[in-house]
């Protein structure tokens, strides 16, 4: 699954998740193959990006430069876990926030 800007979408791509407008109304469901009409609907209703099947964002280390050791990243995440005690990391958004914070910590040498 990959988050793709509406301007970069092409017909034939398949939605990995439901698409909601700015007010939370469902416009299209997961699994729909995009057509030109769908792209126009997204622009009309203010949708800026959607999740597409087949991207590589499922890889948790996709935004890491190749020289970063995955063990160092794991250690950074462990050090950051106390900051997430109340929020937890079960929700995908919080898990991603923890991952991004660890990446920043590693890349800026704050470990």
Q: Over the stretch 12-66, which tens digit does the pLDDT of each residue have?
A: 999 988 998 888 889 999 999 999 999 999 999 988 889 898 755 444 445 556 6
Domain contains 93: yes
Domain contains 58: no
What SS3 state is found at 5? strand
What was the pLDDT predicted at 89? 84
Instruction: Read off the pTM.
Output: 0.50
Is residue 111 predicted with pLDDT exceeding 80?
A: no
What was the pLDDT predicted at 39? 93
Distance of CA 78 to the CA centre of its chain: 21
Same domain, 78 and 38: no
% of the chain exceeding 70 in pLDDT: 85
Domain contains 57: no
What was the pLDDT predicted at 27? 92
Domain contains 62: no
Helical H runs in 1-111? 36-44, 70-80, 92-107
Q: How many structural domains is the chain composed of?
A: 2
Q: Over the stretch 66-103, which tens digit does the pLDDT of each residue have?
A: 666 788 888 999 999 999 989 888 888 888 888 888 88
Q: Exposed, middle or buried, 86 (CB in 10 Å: 0-12/13-18/19+)?
A: exposed
Same domain, 6 and 48: yes
Domain contains 35: yes
Distance of CA 54 to the CA centre of its chain: 13
Same domain, 9 and 48: yes
Domain contains 63: no
Domain holding 76, by residue range, is 70-107
């Amino acid at each position: 699954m990959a988050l793709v800007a509406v301007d970069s979408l092409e017909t034939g791509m398949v939605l990995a998740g439901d698409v909601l407008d700015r007010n939370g109304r469902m416009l299209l469901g997961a699994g729909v193959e995009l057509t030109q009409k769908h792209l126009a609907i997204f622009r009309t209703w203010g949708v800026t990006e959607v999740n597409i099947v087949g991207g590589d964002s499922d890889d948790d280390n996709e935004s890491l430069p190749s020289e970063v050791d995955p063990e160092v990243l794991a250690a950074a995440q462990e050090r950051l876990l106390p900051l997430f005690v109340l929020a937890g990391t079960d929700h995908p958004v919080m898990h991603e926030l923890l991952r991004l914070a660890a990446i920043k910590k590693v890349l800026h040498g704050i470990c």
